[in-house]
A = this chain, B = another copy of it.
């Protein structure tokens, strides 16, 4: 059973991702290291004792739709209620509306725990948090006053309504429409698909944020507006009014995250003749910018889902490998009893790969959260710097984190041998659940394109160079430390960072010269290269920060066994486009 790795999480937050310095500089007011520890410990308890034990039930029962009503799995509603009552939903919310105003770093760290307990459960608050953030930044004071307190407390949940059958990655293609009612309200019509927790029985109300077009809107992404559409209309005193014309018309039969209802939502099905009643968030035709507020947050949290599943898979595999005996490991005496499989070098390689990648991806995600926090508490150039940092790291945190989640979940099954293929073991569920994470909130391919096309040019191309320079400084520190237990870490890390730098300069040049196709050919290998190298640097930073022997050993394993992939990745970025384009053309025949 999952136990949150509080030690690793706290170490990564404080000594790797920057929380210690920020606390010292009082950037987060009176927040202390002790309070951070207390929060992590309480969250670990809830995740391990309450969420994780219900994951299996949720997977098995899934959700049921009957007459527009979605029923979640047994125990699910109570779990959610208790979780929200514990104040967990309000962690980062605006204090003016009942939130605790804590840094995103903390929210991301506890989110890792909820997701390791059950991704399907953690999804509901993840979406609510996105809605809260969009409303905090873009909604009118009236809307905020009416909706934020209950969304922040978790009494109501929120949803994101983007996708339509013809518009997935390409939001410019969406067709849902909104008409002006002449007062402050709008009427919405259209169908949205893949709406996570679009309908459920865990709360009294659900607040949908919906992208739609006004009749006179320009074509494409510049003609999209964002609307708030509640399931039940809300009276001025906050009590619930009549049912709004938004209904769940179907739930998907999915590969994983069975306990999370993925709904087809119909806005304005004709029952009232008036459509679903909605309120504008932000300005007309500027909905995409508002939605991006939610999406960036969501992308980081999806990356954390990957890290969370990787950690859960690692713990499960490690426990199994310590118990299960098969064969004799090298050095075991012939004729003696069978060795625990953890003594076999190949199983060790598997577990260490899981552990190293998980730790690297976690550090990237936390560093991204730290940048978000610092941007919030800074001003001027400093704020710009941190905002750029968060922008740069978001696609890496999302795609590298979820790729690592997939890899670790698969390796975890492998450690279990035949038992891994049996559903009751639970390793298969982790693998099925995590399979959505490289897809939603922008596929990992789209993250890679975003990284290359939009993030490398930040700050006239200087921001990413500055970031790499920070990582290179870590490699220098590793070299200067002369710690024998780090082996060739400094050398391997320097080589990987040189690969990253070279590939970065190549892509920036290609973009500057208008060779967009060539640059995009290398997007996916570049993102992997970025994640691997940054992860390795953070592992070294962590190992240098304290004398923990296991941390140094994992850092060294990562450096000497995993980092060397960067050379091949760099080669693909810099020399892969020509053959890709030639063969790609042949594919289309």
Cα(A520)–Cα(B339), bound, Å: 15
The reply on A55 being an interface residue by CB < 8 A is no
Given contacts A330-B517, A431-B435, contact A346 B564 (CB under 8 A): no
> Could you say which of A125-133, A468-476, A576-584 contacts chain B?
A576-584
Asked if A521 and B345 sit within 8 Å, CB to CB, the answer is yes
Contact between chains at A564 and B568 (CB < 8 Å): yes
Q: Contact string, A443-459, partner B, CB cutoff 8 A, digits 1/0? A: 11100110000000000
- A422 is an interface residue with CB less than 8 A from chain B: yes
Binds B, one of A70-78, A303-311, A380-388, A409-417: A409-417
Is B568 touching A580 in the complex (CB atoms < 8 A)? no
A124 interface residue per 8 A CB criterion: no
The contact of A517 among B173, B331, B350, B586, by CB within 8 Å, is B331
Report the minimum CB–CB distance from A315 to chain B (whole Å): 12
List B contacts of A549 (CB < 8 A): 586
- Chain B residues with CB below 8 A from A423, complex form: 253-255
B255, B440, B584: the one contacting A348 at CB < 8 Å is: B584
The answer on a CB contact under 8 Å between A580 and B435 is no
Q: Encode contact with B along A537-559: 1 for CB under 8 Å, 0 otherwise.
A: 00000000000011001101101
Contact status of A440 and B418, CB under 8 A, knowing A567-B568, A587-B352: yes
- Specify which chain B residues have a CB less than 8 angstroms from the CB of A141 in the assembled complex: none
Report yes or no: A579 in contact with B560, Cβ–Cβ below 8 A: yes
Question: Complex: how many Å from CA A444 to CA B420?
Answer: 14
A348 to chain B, nearest CB (A): 3
Which of A351, A432, A579: most chain B Cβ within 10 A?
A579
A565→B343 CA distance, assembly (Å)? 28
Instruction: Name the B residues within 8 Å of A435 (CB-CB).
Output: 410, 413, 421, 428, 431
Contact of A443 among B349, B414, B517 (CB under 8 A): B414
Bitwise interface map of A from 12 to 33 toward B, beta carbon under 8 Å scored 1, else 0? 0000000000000000000000
A37 at the interface (CB under 8 A from B): no
Residues of B within 8 A of A256 (CB): 421
> Do the beta carbons of B487 and A448 come within 8 Å of each other?
no
A406:B410 contact, CB within 8 angstroms: yes
Query: Please, which residues of chain B bring their CB within 8 A of the CB of A150?
Result: none
Q: Give the CA-CA distance A572 to B346 in the complex, in Å.
A: 12
The minimal Cβ–Cβ distance linking A582 to chain B, given in whole angstroms, is 5
In the bound complex, how far is the Cα of B517 from the Cα of A347, in angstroms?
A: 12
Among B253, B431, B436, B576, the residue within 8 A (CB) of A424 is B253
Q: Looking at the assembled complex, report how far the CB atom of A319 sits from the nearest CB atom of chain B, in whole angstroms.
A: 12
* CB neighbours of A431 from chain B (8 A): 255, 435
Asked whether, in the complex, the Cβ of A170 is within 8 Å of the Cβ of B439, the reply is no
A579 interface neighbour in B410, B438, B487, B588, Cβ under 8 Å: B487
State whether the Cβ of A338 lies closer than 8 Å to any Cβ in chain B: yes
| A509 interface hit (Cβ, 8 Å) | no
Q: How many residues on the A side are at the interface (Cβ–Cβ under 8 A)? A: 98
Chain B CB within 8 A of A318 CB: yes
A416 (CB) vs chain B CBs: closest residue: B439
Q: At the interface, yes or no: A45 with Cβ under 8 Å from chain B?
A: no
Residues in B with CB closer than 8 Å to A355 are: 587
Q: Given A559-B579, A565-B568, A584-B348 in contact, is the A414-B432 Cβ separation under 8 Å?
A: no
Contacts of A581 in B (CB 8 A): 345, 348
**Least Cβ–Cβ distance between A370 and chain B, in angstroms:** 27
Question: Bound state CA distance, A343 and B587, in angstroms?
Answer: 9
A345 contact from B220, B517, B557, Cβ within 8 A: B517
Q: Decide: A170 near B330, CB < 8 A? Known: A194-B418, A487-B579, A564-B571.
A: no
Q: Does A516 contact B (CB under 8 A)?
A: yes
Given A170-B326, A417-B439, A422-B254, A557–B571 Cβ distance below 8 Å?
A: no
14 extra interface residue pairs, beta carbon distance < 8 Å, beyond A350-B524, A564-B571: A169-B327, A220-B335, A254-B421, A254-B422, A345-B584, A414-B445, A421-B435, A428-B435, A487-B579, A553-B579, A554-B583, A556-B582, A557-B580, A564-B568
- What are 9 pairs between A and B in contact, CB < 8 Å? A330-B516, A347-B445, A349-B524, A352-B587, A414-B438, A417-B443, A421-B435, A421-B439, A561-B572
Q: Measuring CB to CB, which residues of chain A are less than 8 angstroms from any residue of chain B?
A: 163, 168-170, 173, 193-194, 219-220, 252-256, 318, 322, 326-327, 329-331, 335, 338, 342-352, 355, 406, 410, 413-414, 417-418, 420-424, 428, 431-432, 435-436, 438-440, 443-445, 448-449, 485, 487-488, 516-517, 520-521, 523-524, 549-550, 553-554, 556-557, 559-561, 564-565, 567-568, 571-572, 575-589
User: What 8 pairs across the A-B complex have the smallest Cβ distances?
Assistant: A348-B584, A330-B517, A553-B583, A255-B428, A557-B583, A564-B568, A560-B579, A346-B445
